[in-house]
Chain A
Amino acid sequence: MHQGQLRGFILASVGDFQNAADILQKTNLKIWQKADAFHRDQPFLPWAFAIARYEVLAFLRDRGRERIVFQPDVSEMLTDVFESRYDHWDPKQLALHQCLDQLCPEHTRLISLRYAKGMSLAGVASETGRSIESVKCILLRMRRKLKQCIQHRLAESS
Chain B
Amino acid sequence: MLDLLPGSTDPALRSELSFQFSNSTLIPVSSKPVPAKSVHRLEELLLLGQTHEASEAELNELNTLLRGDQRLRELAVESLGMDSMLVEAFEGRVCSAASRRQSSLPGSRKIAKRAIWRIGLAVAVALAVGVGWLHHSPQNRSLQNRPAGKPKQDPQAAIHSSASESSEPTLQNLTQLDVTPLPGGNDFGTVTLAEGAEWLPSKSVGDHVGEGPLVLTSGIGRIHLRRGAELLIDARRAIAKMHFHLDGTVSVTQGDVIANVTESALGFIIRTPSTKIVDIGTRFAVSVDSAGRSEVQVIDGAVSCLPIDADAIRNESMLSAGQTFRFQGPTDQRGQMIDQPSLRFDDLETLRDKWDSARPQGELICYEGFDYPPGLLRRTDAGQGWTGPWHPHTDESKQPVAVIRQGQYLSGLPWLISRSKTYCVAPSASVSARLLADPISLDVDRDVFVSFLMRRQRLGPHGQTGGGAGISWHATKDLRPEVGHLGSEHLVFALSADMNDNLTASTGTGRYNGGVKLRNSGNYFVVVKLMLRQSGPDNLVAKIFTQDDAPQITEPPQWDSEGHPFHHQGYLRKLQFWCGADAVAAFDELRIGTTWESVVPLRH
Q: How far apart are the CA atoms of A92 and B139 in the complex, in Å?
A: 22
Closest A residue by C-beta to B131:
A35
Identity of the chain B residue whose Cβ is nearest the Cβ of A79 in the assembled complex: B77
Place the interface of chain B in its size category. Answer: 35 or more
User: CB-defined interface of A119-134 with B at 8 Å, one 1/0 digit per residue?
Assistant: 1111100000000000
Asked if B137 is at the interface (CB within 8 A of a chain A CB), the reply is: yes
Q: Which residue of B lies closest to A2 (CB)?
A: B133
Complex: chain A residue closest to B139, CB-CB = A28
Q: Does B97 contact A (CB under 8 A)?
A: no
Alpha-carbon distance between A120 and B48 when the two chains are bound, in angstroms = 8
Alpha-carbon distance between A81 and B70 when the two chains are bound, in angstroms:
9
Residues in B whose Cβ lies below 8 Å from that of A86: 81
Chain A residues whose CB sits within 8 angstroms of the CB of B183 once the complex forms: 97
Tell me the minimal C-beta distance from A67 to chain B in angstroms. Answer: 7
Query: A112 with B267: in contact, given A16-B50, A74-B67 (CB under 8 Å)?
Result: no
B177 touches A108 (CB 8 A): yes
Interface contact B156-A143, CB-CB below 8 Å: no
A147 near B82 with CB under 8 A, answer yes
In the complex, which of the residues B79, B156, B247 contacts A90, with contact meaning CB atoms closer than 8 Å? B247
Q: In the complex, what residue of chain A is closest to B159 when comparing beta carbons?
A: A116
Instruction: Return the CB mask of B164-184 against A: 1 if under 8 Å, else 0.
Output: 000000000000110111111
A105 to B176, CA, bound (A): 10
Tell whether A115 pairs with B83 under 8 Å between CB atoms, given A78-B73, A105-B521: yes
| Pick from A29, A90, A117, A123: contact of B143, CB under 8 Å | A29
Query: A2 — which chain B residues lie within 8 A by C-beta?
Result: 133
Query: Could you say which residues of chain B place their CB within 8 Å of the CB of A112?
Result: 90, 176, 179
Interface centre among A40, A47, A119 (most CB of B within 10 A): A40
**A7 in contact with B179 (CB, 8 Å):** no
Tell yes or no: A113 within 8 A of B by CB.
Answer: yes
CB of B184 within 8 A of CB of A101, answer yes
Total contacts A-B at CB 8 Å: 221
Interchain CB contact under 8 A, B179 and A38:
no
Say whether B121 faces chain A, with CB atoms less than 8 Å apart. no
Which of A2, A74, A112, A113 is the most central at the interface, judged by chain B CB atoms within 10 Å of its CB?
A112
Enumerate chain B residues within 8 angstroms of A117, measured Cβ to Cβ: 156, 159-160
* B479 at interface, CB cutoff 8 A: no
Which residue of chain A has its CB nearest to the CB of B310? Answer: A43
Pair A1/B184 contact, Cβ less than 8 Å:
no
- The answer to whether A4 and B88 have CB atoms under 8 Å apart is yes
CB-nearest residue of chain B relative to A140?
B43
- Residue in A3, A35, A95, A119 whose Cβ sees the most chain B Cβ within 10 Å: A3
Q: Is B337 an interface residue (CB 8 A)?
A: no
Q: Is the CB of A120 within 8 A of B52?
A: yes
* B87 at interface by CB-CB < 8 Å: yes
Q: Is B235 an interface residue (CB 8 A)?
A: no
Q: A140 near B44 (CB under 8 angstroms)?
A: yes
**A-binding residues in B (CB < 8 A):** 40, 43-44, 46-54, 56, 59, 62-63, 66-67, 70, 73-74, 76-91, 127-134, 136-140, 142-143, 152, 154-156, 159-160, 176-177, 179-185, 211, 246-248, 267, 311-315, 521
16 contacts between A and B (CB under 8 A): A15-B46, A28-B134, A38-B130, A40-B130, A47-B130, A77-B66, A78-B66, A81-B74, A91-B247, A94-B246, A105-B177, A108-B179, A122-B53, A143-B79, A143-B82, A147-B82
* Cβ-closest 5 pairs across A and B: A44-B130, A1-B133, A116-B90, A8-B84, A98-B184
